[in-house]
């Protein structure tokens, strides 16, 4: 997939303020210090798209970015395109969600943001897929495992993105990935996909965009 253009549309404090345009949405979420803004900027090839801050937890709203993209060459049959069943380019929303696990927030504020996140993930009808960002340098964290289990229990489709992999050796990365798979296997029969990424080296960019492309194709083919 190639991103042709991307632009910020709006920041919403609740679902009712989200864009009314019914486009597929791909949401990105993670703990407040996981490097989400840097990863989004890397995927979009736009350094200043999502605001990167030295203070974790600056994202407090649902941020929508409208994306125009084209399929990779040869991804769909010519006959499908000629029949008009596959449109190229496609438009979709990249959604930057607030982080979870704010250590410095009051219980009231924390509950507010958790409610906003849960409301979006459970009730946004055009949510196509969620990307859950996990810091690859850490051992499995209880809060992350609980959130993954909540996503599974609520039938929210998601892919795990291991961030900051450039900070680890291949052996360390493999060990940490295996630890997460082991931790998840206690609750999951079929484990979610895990993609290693790095905002610094651009590792995983093609794989994430290909995952979005496949989901868009599936949506288009069922229309």
For 29-63, write each residue's pLDDT tens digit: 998 789 999 999 999 988 778 765 444 445 678 99
Strand partners, 12: 62
Q: Which residues contact residue 18 at a Cβ distance below 8 angstroms, ignoring those fewer than 6 apart? A: 10, 12, 62, 64, 120, 124
- Ordered DSSP codes for 109-135: HHHHHHHHHHHHHHH-TTEEEEEEEEE
> At how many degrees (to 10) do helices 205-221 and 36-44 cross?
70
pLDDT tens digits, 190-199: 999 999 999 9
Q: Report d(CA 18, CA 118) in Å as an integer.
A: 15
Top pLDDT among 134 and 114 is at 134
18's tokens: 């989200």
Give domain limits for the chain.
2-221
SS3 of residue 148 by DSSP: helix
Nearest to 202 by CA among 53, 43, 83: 43
Over 60: is that where the pLDDT of 16 sits?
yes
Q: Report d(CA 209, CA 28) in Å as an integer.
A: 13
Q: CA-CA distances (angstroms) from residue 41 to 6, 57, 209? A: 11, 17, 13
pLDDT tens digits, 176-189: 999 999 999 988 98
CATH number of 2-221: 3.40.50.300
């Amino acid at each position: 997939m190639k991103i042709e253009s991307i632009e910020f549309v709006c920041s919403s404090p609740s679902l009712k303020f989200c864009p009314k345009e019914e486009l597929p949405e791909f949401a990105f979420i993670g703990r407040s210090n996981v490097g989400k803004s840097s990863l989004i900027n890397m995927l979009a090839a736009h350094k200043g798209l999502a605001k990167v801050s030295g203070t974790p937890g600056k994202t407090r709203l649902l941020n929508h970015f409208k994306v125009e993209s084209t399929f990779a060459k040869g991804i769909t049959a010519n006959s499908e395109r000629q029949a008009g069943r596959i449109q190229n380019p496609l438009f979709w929303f990249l959604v930057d969600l607030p982080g979870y696990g704010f250590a410095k927030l009051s219980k009231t504020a924390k509950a507010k943001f958790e409610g906003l996140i849960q409301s979006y993930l459970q009730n946004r009808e055009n949510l196509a897929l969620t990307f859950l960002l996990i810091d690859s340098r850490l051992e499995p964290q209880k809060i992350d495992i609980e959130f993954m289990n909540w996503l599974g229990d609520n039938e929210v489709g998601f892919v795990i993105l291991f961030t900051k992999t450039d900070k680890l050796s291949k052996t360390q990365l493999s060990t940490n990935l295996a630890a997460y798979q082991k931790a998840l296997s206690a609750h999951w029969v079929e484990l979610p996909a895990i993609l290693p990424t790095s905002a610094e080296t651009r590792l995983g960019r093609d794989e994430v965009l290909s995952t979005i492309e496949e989901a868009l194709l599936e949506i288009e083919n069922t229309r």
